[in-house]
Amino acid sequence: MANAKMRQTLELGGMVVAPGAYDIPTARLMQQLGFEALYVGGSQTGTVLGTTEPLTTVTQMADVGRTVARACREEMPVILDAGAGFGDPVHVMYTVEVLEAAGVTAIHIEDQFFPKRVSYHRGLEHVVPIDVYQQRLEHAVKARKSRDFLIIGRTDGLNAAPDSSLPDGGSRDEVVKRAHAAMEVGVDIIMPMGSRNKEDLQYMRSKIKDIPLLALAGSGALGVPDFQAAGYQIVIYPGATIQASIRAIYEIYENLMRTGTLHEDMGDTRDLMNDLQLLPEKWALEEEIGHNL
């Protein structure tokens, strides 16, 4: 079930800050830290699965979405990366059906080519013609069952390479044009990709009116206060979670391989781990029945 909280928060003009999660402990950790939404990114999921995003299926995305939503007892809206929608309008409709049934609350669908290309990860981006993009979103909107399930129109039109479907390549105006095309067919949120500075953010906000905008918090210096000041209502974290994990594991085990010794005793993680597994409530139950002896 889509969680109505996200639509309500947006309608009231509130902020939705959604850290990246990809399994039960990462989802539950964010809930315990006091966040109120989660983000399941494609790139992060592709990394965890070891496949890369362009090779990740809608089934795998739905599995992660379902796992993460259930980890917090469906109390947190989950925003999920549906990539290019996994195909033509018939596939896009199936994608919406599968992801809504998985219990996520919002999905973003973009104008990249399908099948997706790994070249995107080295900055070589391609987008489909605007009418193909609009059809995707039109059918995504048609396929949803609940009004609480939100469709986010993402466009990669800013940095797209010149090719037959966009001879002059990407531009800010192309982004705005595609955002308007998405709004015409009823999307709930716009996600303009590639905005890296305050000036870009302000430009998009000034040209794309009367609809919530979504921003990505990444390696740049921009944070929630900046996005909020620019009029963006949703902030997602596509990579920070897996990056923190890989970095921490790498440091400890690289050191072990080099020196033969584990330099971290992890004694300070006991409460964290206990809480993530909901052990205190299990201990209380066992005490009631004498299993603590």
Within residues 123-152, the interface with another protein by CB under 8 A covers 124
- Provide the minimum distance between the beta carbon of 86 and another protein in the complex, in angstroms, as a whole number: 17
- Provide the minimum distance between the beta carbon of 290 and another protein in the complex, in angstroms, as a whole number: 10
> Which C-beta is closer to another protein: that of 88 or that of 286?
286
Retrieve residue 257's tokens: 């391989």
> Which C-beta is closer to another protein: that of 29 or that of 176?
29
Cite the beta strand spans of the chain per DSSP E. Answer: 16-18, 38-40, 78-81, 106-109, 150-155, 189-192, 214-216, 234-236
- Provide the minimum distance between the beta carbon of 124 and another protein in the complex, in angstroms, as a whole number: 7
Exposed/middle/buried for residue 172 (C-beta within 10 Å: 0-12, 13-18, 19+): middle
- Provide the minimum distance between the beta carbon of 99 and another protein in the complex, in angstroms, as a whole number: 21
- Provide the minimum distance between the beta carbon of 38 and another protein in the complex, in angstroms, as a whole number: 11
> Which C-beta is closer to another protein: that of 131 or that of 283?
283
> Which C-beta is closer to another protein: that of 101 or that of 224?
224
Interaction with another protein in 168-227: which residues (CB under 8 A)? 217-219, 221, 223-225
Retrieve residue 84's tokens: 């290019």
Residues that bind another protein (rule: CB under 8 A) add up to a total of 73
Which residue has tokens 């302000």? 202
How far CA 195 is from CA of 51, 159, 220, 267, 270, in Å, comes to: 27, 10, 10, 41, 40
- What would the DSSP string read from start to end of 221-271? S--HHHHHHTT--EEE-SSHHHHHHHHHHHHHHHHHHHHSS-----GGGHH
**3-class secondary structure, 77:** coil
> Which C-beta is closer to another protein: that of 101 or that of 249?
249
200 closest CA partner among 172, 233, 159, 173: 172
Interaction with another protein in 244-263: which residues (CB under 8 A)? 244-250, 252-254, 256-257, 259-262
Residue 279 in the binding site for another protein (CB under 8 A): yes
Which residue has tokens 């015409």? 184
Interaction with another protein in 69-128: which residues (CB under 8 A)? 71, 117-119, 121-122, 124
Amino acid at 9: T
x/- mask, another protein, residues 19-58, rule CB under 8 A, reads x---xxxx-xxx--xxx----------xxxxxxx------
